[in-house]
Chains A and B, each alone.
Chain A
Amino acid sequence: MKRKSPSKSLSKGASVSRRVFTAGLGAVGFTAGIAPFNIVRAQGAALKVGVLLPRSGFQAGIGQDCQRGVDIAAGLLKDMGLPNLQIMNADTETNVDVARSRAEKLIGEGAQVLVGAFDSGQSSAIAQVAEQKGIPYVINIAAAPPITEQGYKFVFRNFPTGGMILGGAFAAQKEIFASVGAAPKTAVFLHVNDTFGTSMAGGIGAVMPKFDMPYKIVETISYDPAARDLSVEISKAKATGADALLMVSRLNDAILLTREMVKQRWSPMAIMSMGPGWYEDQYLKTLGKLSDGPLSFVPWYDPNKPLSKTLEAALAKSSPGVSLNTNHVYTFEALLIAADAYKRAGSADPKALADAIRATNITNNVSPGPGIQFDAKGQNDKLKISGIQNRGGKLLTVAPKEAANAKAEWPLTPYDKRA
């Protein structure tokens, strides 16, 4: 069969009748008429966000705490005029390999952005998957520096790296020493030997000399994150005779270590933590008066920012008795970043979303610092570290000055002098 050449056909029918013109005009008008509806439909469709957290395994408590940040996000994002998110939950089971396979599964099921996963090891595995599949991944909490040093194009982190935490922690410690007029001369450093703890331990040697700290570390002791008994660790730390205890730990080990200090009758001048555990609700509830005093230098929230107050109120409503903490703040902010980028991109196309996330500039946020922006590596390098202290079951921000709401109490009240 011989086909007509399209050009021939065109040339033959080149004369446009009034009927054809009217029909064409109608078609253009119809298309133009429904175009706004198309835009509305694109913005109205919820962005599918795969939230990966350790909901079981030994980090399950923290994963569930992060989930509280997810639970309060929907209402707040709506109030902020941001698009809806369709949350797709996944459990990493506190396992790097499971985290990797769950990320792949979520992408297979249609997740357009990934968020998570609290732990550096698990987040590294998810980052590899996200980069390979070309799906944007916003890390909520993970501090190991290499994650954003790989040249990834789809991986973004709104959480300080280990180096930033250490630098911020040392700066905040010096601020506190200056304000109380005292400082320890020696410290013993205890750290959990998971990905986070090991990278923090490695970073201390590199960062500490730059800050000319008044104390020197007399011994470094590492321990297993799943340890059931930490009596040996405290015996060893106590034997050093150090003035202060420098910590990088998790929740359960923070409780175990405190108990051991009480039992072994050791009260250092200060406990200075540069990780989770010592400020968490369960730590405060489990130990009561014994939880008072430790200083934590952590990525926290600025209690003076308006959105912090809104977030606090939302959390108090959804989870009464739970205090706002790092887990809620940074998980919420990861979702805020995704929703904000989706609004600006106007599309769920992964490339467009990644470009929009890279161009993020959120000033109405919760974490301390000027706001949320990413550098070329996908790292928010503007985040500040806060010094917080447990006092009477409450967490007070004692540094930096611009985000503080109290002055530090110094030294630590000895455990045997508490009621």
Chain B
Amino acid sequence: MPFDVYLNVAVGGLLTGLVYGLMALGLSVIFGVVRVVNFAHGEMMTVAMYIAIVLFSALHLDPLIMLVPISVVLFCFGYALQAGVINPFITRPEHSQFLLLVAIAIIIINVLLIIFGPDAQSVQTSYSYDSFQVGKLIVDATKLYAAAAALAVAVALYGFFQFTAIGTAIRACADNYTGALVVGLDVKHLYALTFGLGSACVGAAGVMLVLIVDVTPSLGPAYTLLAFVIVITGGLGSMPGALLGGVLIGLTEAMAGLIFTPSAKSMFAFAILVLVLLFRPQGIMGKKAA
């Protein structure tokens, strides 16, 4: 097979992996601070995708332009969910949290099914079918835009956590819950803020993914699973780890599909997960538990 085929597939896998990474970043941020595993992660992303579709079909608003507004909507949704529903479960056993979030996921899927029906829906922008050709390299325009936006959002999030007072306070909550309470931080508010930020991340990822994949209400669980694979591979709670995990899984799926068989793509992604769990259980960039 010519080298340019490998190059094209690798670039495609890298770009898709960056968007996957952003989606997983939201999950990682929520777990890293609130210590709640969001089993409704993929479903929340589906909500963002449907908002993008509705705005596009009703008002012809380009998803990339609506990236920030939709992320804000998801932020509010996440904030309200954490403050109103999840917060009482923070001190309860993990299986209670698990059941709560699975229930939320099921409710989201069925509400979407009632509103939008089971048919796949998509956004057809003016650049939906565009691609850039550089020599023998053909780059999918939508994937390129989505990956660039994913990188920008990830950098902005990193900057927020590193260089703002609220970001520092959230990191303090993550490092030492009791200590944060002792110094007078409003931990409940900060938890809700973090859940909101994680939701905004997955909302942004959804808006970008809607350019690449068709949406159905049942899309969520597959992406929740994918986010888990990425986050565990990259390191639960690690922001750079989530991005790295996304790129690694995106690239692995693409290259495995090309070299072996496309139907075995997921198998290779899970093989990476198994290897990481065997040889580096904390994930590639995760910290070992003290």
Contacts and interface: CB of A to CB of B under 8 A. Distances in A.
Contacts of A100: none
Contacts of B254: 231-232
Interface of B: 1-2, 5, 8-9, 12-13, 16, 113, 117-120, 122, 124, 128-131, 133, 138, 140-141, 212-214, 216, 218-219, 222, 253-254, 257-258, 261-263, 265-266
B138 A265 contact: yes
B95 to A, nearest CB: 24
Interface string A160-180: 000000000000000000000
Interface string A241-275: 00000000001100110010011110000000000
Interface in A225-246: 226-233, 235-236, 238-239
A265 to B, nearest CB: 6
Contacts of A57: 218
A263 B11 CA distance: 14
A55 B218 CA distance: 12
**List of 9 A-B pairs having minimum Cβ-Cβ separation, nearest first:** A60-B118, A232-B257, A223-B262, A61-B119, A222-B263, A193-B263, A262-B129, A239-B5, A263-B131
A58 interface: yes
Interface of A: 55-58, 60-61, 63-64, 193, 221-224, 226-233, 235-236, 238-239, 251-252, 255-256, 259, 262-265, 282, 286, 290
A282 B119 CA distance: 8
Nearest to B212: A229
Given A229-B213, A290-B129, 12 more contacts: A60-B218, A61-B216, A64-B117, A228-B212, A228-B213, A228-B219, A232-B258, A235-B258, A236-B5, A236-B262, A239-B5, A265-B131
A224 B214 contact: no
A235 B222 contact: no
A65 to B, nearest CB: 9
Q: Among B122, B253, B266, which residue has the most Cβ atoms of chain A within 10 A? A: B122
Contacts of A286: 122, 124
Contacts of B131: 263-265
Nearest to A61: B119
Nearest to B138: A264
A238 B131 CA distance: 16
A252 B120 contact: yes
A218 to B, nearest CB: 12
Nearest to B226: A228
Nearest to A259: B129
Contacts of B120: 61, 251-252, 255, 282
Contacts of B216: 58, 60-61, 252
A68 to B, nearest CB: 13
A236 B130 CA distance: 20
Q: Among A229, A255, A256, which residue has the most Cβ atoms of chain B within 10 A? A: A229
A60 B214 CA distance: 14
Given A193-B263, A222-B261, A235-B9, A256 B140 contact: no
B265 A224 contact: yes
A290 B129 CA distance: 10
A231 B12 contact: yes
A227 B13 CA distance: 14
29 contacts: A56-B118, A58-B218, A60-B118, A60-B216, A61-B216, A221-B262, A228-B212, A228-B213, A229-B12, A229-B212, A231-B254, A232-B12, A232-B257, A232-B258, A232-B262, A235-B12, A235-B258, A239-B2, A239-B5, A251-B120, A252-B120, A252-B216, A256-B214, A259-B128, A262-B129, A263-B130, A263-B138, A286-B122, A290-B129
A232 B9 contact: yes
Contacts of A60: 113, 118-119, 216, 218
A317 B16 CA distance: 43
Given A232-B265, A236-B5, A252-B120, A56 B258 contact: no
A229 B9 CA distance: 12
Given A223-B262, A223-B263, A228 B119 contact: no
A28 B245 CA distance: 86
Contacts of A221: 261-262
A230 B265 CA distance: 11
